[in-house]
């Protein structure tokens, strides 16, 4: 597989301080990418930068909140000032919820999720686009299987992931003549911080993960699956068999896919 096409590429990864983004930064550094690692937590970013510097070029660290259009612009400007170009933008930062909609008492949960999961990638991609056109580069978004079908306790999250998939599927068509690739990644459950940081109905983090973590993908496994898909500039990765089958089941047996989603949340895997 042509993973070596990634060597030397200038890559921004958002949400690099934890979980999938952190694991992806490690594997992309291994492939010789010139990384910009971003998130809000500067201490976690600094510790990742040290780890990466053991076996690859030291990454450029830039702290930013993707829900701010100004900070997204600053991240892109700093990247181009530092490396002189941008080849791949990976919109990975995200957050989730864990509450039935009828138990939601803080409607701001819906705003927060939409700002980070949908508006963040839109703002950042808008700032990056002139540079991605110049490099005939690639934009990647880490969406979710919850962007392909409904998931109970995740209504606001599923809405944000459906939005981001619709957005990037539209952008792919617009950018075809510019030779900028658009890759949508839909992970199924992955071990990360997102489950314990999920907002409950009152807008407070759950504090512990309700997932059966031994039964789901690790962040490292997810990152290894993403690597060739990004290198080959493919349009879509769905990490699980039920996710891939689910797209067809939704057309021919929609009640069955609802049942599978209900069971996945109830069992935590």
Ligand X SMILES: NC(=O)c1ccc[n+]([C@@H]2O[C@H](COP(=O)([O-])OP(=O)(O)OC[C@H]3O[C@@H](n4cnc5c(N)ncnc54)[C@H](OP(=O)(O)O)[C@@H]3O)[C@@H](O)[C@H]2O)c1
Which token pair is 218?
């690790």
55 a catalytic residue: no
Q: Are the C-beta atoms of residues 49 and 126 closer than 8 Å to each other?
A: no
Binding mask 157-196 for ligand X (x = CB under 6 A): ------------------------------x-xx-xxx--
Residue 58, helix vs strand vs coil: coil
Given candidates 93, 124, 199, 236, which one binds ligand X under the rule CB under 6 A?
93
The one catalytic residue among 83, 118, 123, 157: 157
The length of the chain is 269
Which token pair is 224?
């290894």
First to last CA, the chain: 30
Q: Which is nearer to ligand X, 133 or 224 (CB)?
A: 224
Q: Which is nearer to ligand X, 95 or 163 (CB)?
A: 95
Applying CB under 6 A, the site for ligand X has a residue count of: 31
DSSP letter for 19, please: H
Nearest distance from residue 225's CB to ligand X, in Å? 12
Tokens 């068999």 belong to 241
Which token pair is 128?
């990056």
Residues within window 33-72 making contact with ligand X, judged by CB under 6 A: 39-41, 44, 65-67
Q: Which is nearer to ligand X, 137 or 187 (CB)?
A: 187
Sorted by sequence, the CB contacts under 8 Å of residue 235 that are 6+ apart come out as 172, 181, 182, 183, 184
Q: Enumerate the active-site residues.
A: 157
Q: Given the rule CB under 6 A, which residues bind ligand X?
A: 14-21, 39-41, 44, 65-67, 92-96, 116, 142, 144, 187, 189-190, 192-194, 197, 219
């Amino acid at each position: 597989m042509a993973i070596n096409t990634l060597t030397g590429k200038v890559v921004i990864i958002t949400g690099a301080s934890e979980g999938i983004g952190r694991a992806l930064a490690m594997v992309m550094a291994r492939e010789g990418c010139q990384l910009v690692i971003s998130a809000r937590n500067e201490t976690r970013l600094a510790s990742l930068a040290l780890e990466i510097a053991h076996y690859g070029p030291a990454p450029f660290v830039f702290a930013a909140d993707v829900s701010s259009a100004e900070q997204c612009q600053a991240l892109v400007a700093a990247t181009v000032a530092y490396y002189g170009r941008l080849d791949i933008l990976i919109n990975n930062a995200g957050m989730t919820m864990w509450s039935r909609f009828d138990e939601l008492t803080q409607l701001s949960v819906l705003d927060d999720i939409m700002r980070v999961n949908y508006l963040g990638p839109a703002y950042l991609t808008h700032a990056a686009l002139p540079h991605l056109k110049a490099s005939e580069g690639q934009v990647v978004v880490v969406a979710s299987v919850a962007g392909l079908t409904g998931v109970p306790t995740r209504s606001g999250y599923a809405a944000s992931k459906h939005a981001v998939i619709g957005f990037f599927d539209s952008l792919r068509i617009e950018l075809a003549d510019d030779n900028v690739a658009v890759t949508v990644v839909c992970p199924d459950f992955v071990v990360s911080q997102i489950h314990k940081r999920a907002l409950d109905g009152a807008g407070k983090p759950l504090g512990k993960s309700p997932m059966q973590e031994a039964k789901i993908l690790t962040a490292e496994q997810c990152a290894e699956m993403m690597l060739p898909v990004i290198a080959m500039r493919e349009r879509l990765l769905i990490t699980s068999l039920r996710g891939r089958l689910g797209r067809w089941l939704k057309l021919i047996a929609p009640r069955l896919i609802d049942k599978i989603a209900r069971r996945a949340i109830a069992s935590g895997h």
